[in-house]
Amino acid sequence: MGHPVFDTASVVAALHGVRREWREAQQRSSEPGGREFPSRDALTEVVKSLKGVLFPMRLGPVDLRQESEDFYIGYTLDAALHALAAQIRLELRLYDSSKPAERLQAQAQSLTTEFAQTLPAIRRLLDSDVLAAFHGDPAARSVDEVLLCYPGILAMIYHRLAHQLYSQGLPLLARIWAEMAHSQTGIDIHPGARIGSGCFIDHGTGVVIGETALIGERVRLYQNVTLGAKRFTTDAQGHLEKGQPRHPILEDDVVVYAGATVLGRVTLGQGCTVGGNVWLTQDVPPGAHVTQANARQERAAPASVAQPLAFNL
Amino acid sequence: MGHPVFDTASVVAALHGVRREWREAQQRSSEPGGREFPSRDALTEVVKSLKGVLFPMRLGPVDLRQESEDFYIGYTLDAALHALAAQIRLELRLYDSSKPAERLQAQAQSLTTEFAQTLPAIRRLLDSDVLAAFHGDPAARSVDEVLLCYPGILAMIYHRLAHQLYSQGLPLLARIWAEMAHSQTGIDIHPGARIGSGCFIDHGTGVVIGETALIGERVRLYQNVTLGAKRFTTDAQGHLEKGQPRHPILEDDVVVYAGATVLGRVTLGQGCTVGGNVWLTQDVPPGAHVTQANARQERAAPASVAQPLAFNL
Amino acid sequence: MGHPVFDTASVVAALHGVRREWREAQQRSSEPGGREFPSRDALTEVVKSLKGVLFPMRLGPVDLRQESEDFYIGYTLDAALHALAAQIRLELRLYDSSKPAERLQAQAQSLTTEFAQTLPAIRRLLDSDVLAAFHGDPAARSVDEVLLCYPGILAMIYHRLAHQLYSQGLPLLARIWAEMAHSQTGIDIHPGARIGSGCFIDHGTGVVIGETALIGERVRLYQNVTLGAKRFTTDAQGHLEKGQPRHPILEDDVVVYAGATVLGRVTLGQGCTVGGNVWLTQDVPPGAHVTQANARQERAAPASVAQPLAFNL
Amino acid sequence: MGHPVFDTASVVAALHGVRREWREAQQRSSEPGGREFPSRDALTEVVKSLKGVLFPMRLGPVDLRQESEDFYIGYTLDAALHALAAQIRLELRLYDSSKPAERLQAQAQSLTTEFAQTLPAIRRLLDSDVLAAFHGDPAARSVDEVLLCYPGILAMIYHRLAHQLYSQGLPLLARIWAEMAHSQTGIDIHPGARIGSGCFIDHGTGVVIGETALIGERVRLYQNVTLGAKRFTTDAQGHLEKGQPRHPILEDDVVVYAGATVLGRVTLGQGCTVGGNVWLTQDVPPGAHVTQANARQERAAPASVAQPLAFNL
Amino acid sequence: MGHPVFDTASVVAALHGVRREWREAQQRSSEPGGREFPSRDALTEVVKSLKGVLFPMRLGPVDLRQESEDFYIGYTLDAALHALAAQIRLELRLYDSSKPAERLQAQAQSLTTEFAQTLPAIRRLLDSDVLAAFHGDPAARSVDEVLLCYPGILAMIYHRLAHQLYSQGLPLLARIWAEMAHSQTGIDIHPGARIGSGCFIDHGTGVVIGETALIGERVRLYQNVTLGAKRFTTDAQGHLEKGQPRHPILEDDVVVYAGATVLGRVTLGQGCTVGGNVWLTQDVPPGAHVTQANARQERAAPASVAQPLAFNL
Amino acid sequence: MGHPVFDTASVVAALHGVRREWREAQQRSSEPGGREFPSRDALTEVVKSLKGVLFPMRLGPVDLRQESEDFYIGYTLDAALHALAAQIRLELRLYDSSKPAERLQAQAQSLTTEFAQTLPAIRRLLDSDVLAAFHGDPAARSVDEVLLCYPGILAMIYHRLAHQLYSQGLPLLARIWAEMAHSQTGIDIHPGARIGSGCFIDHGTGVVIGETALIGERVRLYQNVTLGAKRFTTDAQGHLEKGQPRHPILEDDVVVYAGATVLGRVTLGQGCTVGGNVWLTQDVPPGAHVTQANARQERAAPASVAQPLAFNL
């Protein structure tokens, strides 16, 4: 008694000092002001609404009835779009805080409108993903089961929405959605990756797909597959060269089995198959079957001498 | 001003069109009606209750006291069983929507009763799993710590409940619980897999166990272990042959270290050990130790020529 | 009608029997009493508060303003410390339930005070982790994005807090936080692991870091990296020898690419690089680049004959 | 220790006995079964939805926008009507539990449809109430303020909805809504009371309006006004005669000031005024002003000898 | 920019000063410490549980079934009693903070046990209240409707529980429950009032019943009835004499109509009736009917000269 | 089947029509836009925070400790003030929607600052109210009990905050708070009323205090007291004359017992007492005791002939 149990005040002061150092180092203002930054919570709500908008009778509210779907969608979508526009404005402001508020607002609305108009196409793509999973997995009993249970489908819902934002120049919002999917499914798809219709990721835990990956139609991937980059190239000054295509291209109907690693801007030709745990840094011709055995031989060959020792995604 | 910010109505109409196409393609009714489909939220509540019923003083409510455990269990269990019966009815209805409501109801109640009666045995199995983790991990300090902290135990709670439903002909509900476990732990056990007592999955992220896997007693698995199927066999018409045993058999006391992949209906003999990252598609005799080195030799041998190039789970 | 739908009472009785058996086998009391055990829910609240205390304008409440940060931190920290002290008391009581309540209380407060005083240093370490991620990932656009989106950063926040508790002799609380991080990120760091500043874990799913691992400064790890132990050593009586250093040492500036497995008390020298999927059980000299190819050669050499067949974390 | 802190079991047993006595006395079944009774919580949700449906931009969700009102109303109304139909079915079942489930269901849907069709007229009546309050209170600054702040308006919203249910033969549901209003506003209007347009109840606490009251248009009432019944009449056997008109008739434009009590089937003629605290059991001619003074004189006159000594509502 | 929007810090300081003044004036400690005071929120939870314990199929959880009532009651009651014991300990501590913690704890448990044992009798009393309301109100259609809808019943549930605590020397907890009832129903019954079985308070808003009131069996009260005290008597030193009986006694079968005021330790004889708005400060013989008219005559008589000019409850 | 259960669409359309009519009649825009109106929910949060700020250890969070009061207050107050400023801006905008957003914002911040600076004085006034209740009620055992339990104190907390807003020209926000108090306590104080320190309203249900009432120090009021206006005066054109003083003045130390009605701009002189149920429309000299008897005589006197027949608040 007589003095506080914990010397909270001194910890507060010390934390204050650390924050000040950080802000000075980062050239951040220490001035009064609120958080002007996109909100994970707000985006969680938006994506929850959009899931209901896309699949009202499966991911919408339990008491929804088919005859009032459009009412539900209209209301939910409108509210979600306004909430999304507010987040878009916050991201735009990060890139140019000097822009007048009205300009930011108008730009955010315009981007939101554009986003909204892609939703029907996104639904159509997701339908193709659901069918691909249904046809690709002998254990699947119905398309509804696939939609409700398969982590690969959940990851595609997030990805196709996030990729749209990414394509519109909103990488931060896109990233937040991508990481939500990653946390829930263990599937880590960079929102920049372009993925064709009918994509099926089975099991999924540990899958990593890099920013510039190009994936064709009807591609199937299993758990722990990495579609990564090799070591980053640097320019004459030693700076990383950004934005270069550096992840694999998978043409239509490619299958990559569990644990396989494909690195660099290589092309897996149409219909080829990459076996489990295969380590691959070269092109594969259409229709080929790559296994650990023949992949190892390649690596032993002189051609592979040129392979980089390390890689990165 | 003067017109809506977003042209929500046209997006609503477009989405309507996509849904109609999907429903026509899937031969689904577009008639009025509610969602007659099992609910993930409802099953989340049921499993939460069952966890409390099975381990009242650890996973039940914080204010529970030992002297009123039975009161708590009786009330919670009864409510959970009624909620579960409702979900079972919904799954049964999917398989035969023409069956009269009373029949469905009676069948659901009968299945629920059967499920309830297995709970004591499930608790006993889970106790053996907890002990196995406690004895198998030098870092474990108490059985309580194991029960509360180990993702492998959480996965087994879900699996043993889900497997019971699966065995009673309710694969969809079973799958929903399995995916909840998968999302929380990264451990993906198909509810069809049969697992003996004293199973310990350490770390667990990336583990995949297939539908027809048979696992004996006191088996230990580490992260990223796959117990999968080889390429699906097809019949003369090229259709997948379903329901065939296609995943490994692990006899009692087998240990499979991290990253190992075991594919096909092979048998790992009692007490054998599979080393880390080993790729295995053949039987292993009891007591043997398989490492990457000797596994590779096998594969190089003629016998392995017959190995399929690709596989699937 | 006329009898209960489910024979709940008999299931309650059977479960009662199983619990009694368990408690007898575990020599637990069946006497009246409440749950005297640390609470996952309570610790969830504490860590949520500490995240806000450490990064108020990013992980604190949405309506917080910079000018009232210290008010927020002071209030939140004080409440969180009292809540944490209560949990610490519960863990201490597990180890010595005969200790008088006042002694436990005093010890818990003293440990909490010590914990609180490390928070500024922890924030500083986390700042270094954020910068490391920002500089190490070409896709990162701002330190804020890193803090909000990167699972590797989330894992480090949990780890640095959990490690502090572990270091103060509170392994159970530490473990609970570690498993929360594991569930959310797929990154499984034992709270005993010591990790220097500027640590960056990219993608992260499937990473496992063992209890006695020692990690220097500016180390980078990718998904599915294991820093584990080899087979446990047992003493003359066949008991596991606990507490021995048994996980790798990574000196400053080491990089370990995706899927690599490093086992045992080996040392990866300063600035060395371990390639993807490499399997490593020997020391690596500073600056070296280890790839699958040269790692395999090692294993083929006589020296590796002595390698154990199996391992464990 | 060693025995429960509280002898809960014996209290449970004693309560069991009291319930059994009650159920026997009430000739209730003690057989297994759930609660087949309308739910206050469910009706709370329904009325919350209906308030939003009636006044979307004021009592609907905060983020609603005028351009999506109809979407919101359509979805919310449909869900609310289904929820209401379920409650109606429960009330109908109370009155005739032998009726087949399909019949109850059909009847409930038909009643709900009828209810729904009155909503536009109810909104129109409520608009007239809002205007009456706005014009009647010099402190009111806008119709919005009236809608949001005035307890008299809140009471009318509940009453007009409850009265509709009452008129359709659903007095229990109606009563539950009426009591919600009573609890929130202190205004106790029996759902049977018929009230014309433009009704304004100012302050309101303590107002009681009986079941057979008839209130014309543009009537104003102040706090603590009672429109009650005199002593119940009983028939030859001493049974209460139910359903007889026994509460006052207030013609158009009547004003009753605070604390006035009007009892029995008297008629207050058009445009008359009843002063504060007046006690009134006789008709009042149109346009008259009744004060405590002249009311007292009446009572002293022979005519009032016939007045009953007591009254009831 | 550059300074806080609001000068929060100076308001904080000024509020600090006002609190210090208050604490000094009240001789309160300003030392560190938590709130050691009964919690309204905790008591809200306890009473909610007790309502379910007393009327499980009407006020318990919606999914409760008759066959598991006892399970529900046992669990809920035990948890509620422990929570109540904690609140009782806090009230006891207010009266004697020097008492050792163990003594307070033991006393609290003993009082809680005593409280628990009265619950069956309280349920029996409440059943009599329900029947009284059902028989007394021609509008009542079923006992269930009465239990669920009538504010008078709700007030009696709170009162009978609160009165028990009051009788056990816990006036503060009792008062908190009484005020909850007051807020919800407008009925203000001091927990000290003793009320016999079969009490029916109709409408109820504005009813006030004082601390030492004694109410017999089958008594009926209407809205705005006051059973109050006359002016407080003071002793020679001018201090209020506390604890003296100062509120009315109502013998069995008394009826008091709306708005009547009865003040002082007068006795209303068995079966008498007090008319609406009557002002009464004298005894009433059994069977009498008091109306405004004859009450006024009394007051005009010399005997009433001695009536105090003012009163208080 | 085959058609919607309810014809929701036609009800939606009909409601649309009613709203359009209303908006046209009220000359409201039917254009797209959100709700630009103060939010009851937001104000509920603000007042909850302010209650904690004013009485941190009694009405603040349960886990608050005295040593961190200022931290809590600083954070909570700052957030509450920003939230309040947003609501103030919305009210200001109602009065002049043409004002530029920046002007509205600046004005709202200035008004909020002014409001914040009165909080210490408001706390001091409330302390005087608590003491008045404690000293005025023989049943009160501690000031804490008074603060936590007495509806009169709750009403004064709301009123003193609401009155401050009213005085700053924000009658709508003030009204919303006043009605929250009304709903919870049955006490209806117009936020315009000016009330001196040490005010005690006992029981409180049914109390109504008008907009221009002036109440001195140490005044005591009981339940159902009305301090109202007589009939509104109208000007030559028949319009209500607003803003004129029309409610009573109560000088210091006045006591008004339950049910008394005081109407018009009369003055109750210092220390006078008004008995229960008295009806009063004339001045009362200091120190006088008014009872029903002597009040009636007044009314019988010629002077009272001039009394208006009706009144209003």
Supply the DSSP string of A41-67, one letter for each residue.
HHHHHHHHHHHHHHSHHHHS-TT-BGG
Chain F partners (3+ C-beta pairs within 8 A): A, B, C, D, E
Name residue E241's amino acid.
E
CATH of residue A228: 2.160.10.10
Residue D116 makes CB contacts below 8 A (sequence gap 6+) with D77, D81, F6, F7, F8, F11
What's the CA gap between A270 and E52, in Å, rounded?
66
Residue E15 belongs to some domain of the structure:
no
What does the pLDDT look like over A42-99, one tens digit per residue? 999 999 999 999 999 999 998 899 989 999 999 999 999 999 999 999 999 998 888 9
F 249-278 near E (Cβ less than 8 A): 255, 257-259, 273, 275-277
Residue D190 has pLDDT above 90, yes or no: yes
Residue F233 has pLDDT above 80, yes or no: no
Residues F214 and F308 in one domain: yes
Average pLDDT over chain A reads 89
β-bridge partners, E221: E201, E256
Residues A71 and A145 in one domain: yes
Nearest residue on chain B to D8, judged by CA atoms? B68
Kindly state whether B4 is in contact with chain F, defined as any CB-CB distance less than 8 angstroms: yes
Q: What is the DSSP letter of C301?
A: S
CB–CB contacts below 8 A, A to C: 161
What's the CA gap between A173 and A89, in Å, rounded?
11
Q: Provide, rounded to the nearest whole percent, the portion of chain C with pLDDT above 90.
A: 73
Residues D171 and D203 in one domain: no
* Set of chain C residues whose Cβ sits within 8 Å of the Cβ of D33: 1
Model pTM score: 0.92
Residue A252 makes CB contacts below 8 A (sequence gap 6+) with A196, A216, A217, A218, A219, A270, A271
What's the CA gap between B54 and E258, in Å, rounded?
56
Kindly state whether F110 is in contact with chain E, defined as any CB-CB distance less than 8 angstroms: no
| Best mutation target, F24, F182, F211, to test chain D (most D CBs within 10 A) | F182
Residue B8 has, within 13 A of its CA and on its CB side, a CA count of 27
Name residue C38's amino acid.
P
The secondary structure of chain A in percent helix, strand, coil, rounded to multiples of 5, reads: 50, 10, 40
Residue E86 makes CB contacts below 8 A (sequence gap 6+) with E42, E108
Helix (H, G, I), strand (E, B) or coil at D238: coil
Residues A93 and A146 in one domain: yes
Name residue A192's amino acid.
G
**Do residue C311 and residue B148 have CB atoms under 8 angstroms apart?**
no
pLDDT band at C97 (very low <50, low <70, confident <90, very high): confident
Q: Give the count of beta carbons closer than 10 Å to the beta carbon of residue D105.
A: 16
* Facing residue for F4 by CB, picked from A34, A67, A82: A67
What does the pLDDT look like over A183-207, one tens digit per residue? 999 999 999 999 999 999 999 999 9
Residue B204 belongs to some domain of the structure:
yes
**Do residue B141 and residue C5 have CB atoms under 8 angstroms apart?**
no
Residue E306 has pLDDT above 70, yes or no: no
Boundary of a domain, candidates A186, A205, A238: A186
Residues C240 and C281 in one domain: yes
Size of chain B in residues: 313
**Do residue C127 and residue A22 have CB atoms under 8 angstroms apart?**
yes
A9/chain B closest Cα distance in angstroms: 32
Boundary of a domain, candidates C186, C212, C227: C186
What's the CA gap between F219 and F201, in Å, rounded?
8
What's the CA gap between B110 and B126, in Å, rounded?
25
- Tokens at E172, concatenated: 């503060």
Average pLDDT over chain D reads 89
Residues E260 and E240 in one domain: yes
Kindly state whether B296 is in contact with chain C, defined as any CB-CB distance less than 8 angstroms: no
Closest CA to F35 of A42, D59, D123: D59
Nearest residue on chain C to B182, judged by CA atoms? C183
* Set of chain D residues whose Cβ sits within 8 Å of the Cβ of C1: 31-33
Residues C83 and C50 in one domain: yes
Residue B237 makes CB contacts below 8 A (sequence gap 6+) with none
Boundary of a domain, candidates F186, F207, F224: F186
Tell me, rounded to whole angstroms, the distance of Cα B200 from its chain centroid. 15
Residue A55 belongs to some domain of the structure:
yes
What's the CA gap between B213 and B246, in Å, rounded?
8
What does the pLDDT look like over E103-117, one tens digit per residue? 999 999 999 999 999
- Tell me how far CA of residue F89 lies from CA of F36, F93, F95, F112, F172, in angstroms: 10, 6, 10, 10, 12
Average pLDDT over residues F271-291: 94
Taking the C-alpha atoms of E92, E93, E96 and E97 in order, what is their torsion angle to the nearest 10 degrees?
A: 170
* Set of chain B residues whose Cβ sits within 8 Å of the Cβ of E65: 78-79, 82
The sign of the dihedral angle between the CA atoms of B173, B174, B178, B181 is positive
What's the CA gap between B46 and B129, in Å, rounded?
22
- Tokens at C206, concatenated: 């499937």
Residues E200 and E303 in one domain: yes
Residue A30 belongs to some domain of the structure:
no
What's the CA gap between F10 and D120, in Å, rounded?
10
Residue A2 belongs to some domain of the structure:
no
Average pLDDT over chain E reads 89
**Do residue C4 and residue E34 have CB atoms under 8 angstroms apart?**
no
* Set of chain D residues whose Cβ sits within 8 Å of the Cβ of B68: 4, 8
* Set of chain D residues whose Cβ sits within 8 Å of the Cβ of C31: 1-2
A62/chain D closest Cα distance in angstroms: 10
Chain A partners (3+ C-beta pairs within 8 A): B, C, D, E, F
Average pLDDT over residues C189-213: 97
Residue C286 makes CB contacts below 8 A (sequence gap 6+) with C251, C269, C270, C271, C272
**Do residue F8 and residue D77 have CB atoms under 8 angstroms apart?**
yes
What does the pLDDT look like over A88-143, one tens digit per residue? 999 999 988 889 989 999 999 999 999 999 999 999 999 999 999 999 887 788 89
Residue F13 makes CB contacts below 8 A (sequence gap 6+) with none
Q: Give the count of beta carbons closer than 10 Å to the beta carbon of residue C113.
A: 16
Residue A84 belongs to some domain of the structure:
yes
Task: Provide φ and ψ at F227, rounded to 5°.
Answer: -110, 85
The least confident of B204-213, B224-233, C18-27 is B224-233
Q: Who wins on pLDDT, C28 or D184?
A: D184
pLDDT band at E1 (very low <50, low <70, confident <90, very high): very low
What's the CA gap between F282 and D147, in Å, rounded?
35
The sign of the dihedral angle between the CA atoms of E182, E188, E194, E197 is negative
Residue F204 belongs to some domain of the structure:
yes
F63/chain C closest Cα distance in angstroms: 6
**Do residue A312 and residue C77 have CB atoms under 8 angstroms apart?**
no
Burial of F39 (0-12, 13-18, 19+ CB in 10 A): middle
pLDDT band at F234 (very low <50, low <70, confident <90, very high): low
Kindly state whether B154 is in contact with chain E, defined as any CB-CB distance less than 8 angstroms: no
Residues A68 and A120 in one domain: yes
pLDDT value, residue A232: 60
β-bridge partners, F215: F195, F250
Helix (H, G, I), strand (E, B) or coil at B65: strand
What's the CA gap between D215 and D236, in Å, rounded?
32
What's the CA gap between F198 and F221, in Å, rounded?
11
Count up the domains in chain F and report the number: 2
Question: HEC string of chain E?
Answer: CCCCCCCHHHHHHHHHHHHHHHHHHCCCCCCCCECCCCCHHHHHHHHHHHHHHHCHHHHCCCCCEHHHHHHHHHHHHHHHHHHHHHHHHHHHHHHCCCCCHHHHHHHHHHHHHHHHHCHHHHHHHHHHHHHHHHHHCCCCCCHHHHHHHCHHHHHHHHHHHHHHHHHCCCHHHHHHHHHHHHHHHCCEECCCCEECCCCEECCCCCCEECCCCEECCCCEECCCCEEEEECCCECCCCCECCCCCCCCEECCCCEECCCCEEECCCEECCCCEECCCCEECCCECCCCEECHHHHHHHHHCHHHHHCCCCEEC
ipTM for the complex shown: 0.90
Residues D150 and D215 in one domain: no
Residues A162 and A249 in one domain: no
Name residue B235's amino acid.
D
* Set of chain A residues whose Cβ sits within 8 Å of the Cβ of C123: 15, 18-19
* Facing residue for F2 by CB, picked from B3, B4, B31: B31
Closest CA to D56 of D74, D78, D42, D44: D74
Average pLDDT over residues C159-170: 98
What's the CA gap between E226 and E217, in Å, rounded?
18
Residue D312 has pLDDT above 60, yes or no: no
What's the CA gap between A93 and E313, in Å, rounded?
63
Residues A173 and A206 in one domain: no
Kindly state whether A224 is in contact with chain C, defined as any CB-CB distance less than 8 angstroms: yes
Kindly state whether D183 is in contact with chain E, defined as any CB-CB distance less than 8 angstroms: yes
**Do residue A109 and residue B5 have CB atoms under 8 angstroms apart?**
yes
Kindly state whether E32 is in contact with chain C, defined as any CB-CB distance less than 8 angstroms: no
The secondary structure of chain F in percent helix, strand, coil, rounded to multiples of 5, reads: 50, 10, 40
Residue E308 has pLDDT above 90, yes or no: no
β-bridge partners, F308: none
Residue B110 belongs to some domain of the structure:
yes
Q: For residues B242 and B212, is the Cβ–Cβ distance under 8 A?
A: no
Residue A235 has pLDDT above 70, yes or no: no
The domain of D253 spans: 193-313
CATH of residue F53: 1.10.3130.10
* Strands lying side by side in the sheet with F200-201: F200-201, F220-221, F255-256, F273-274, F289-290
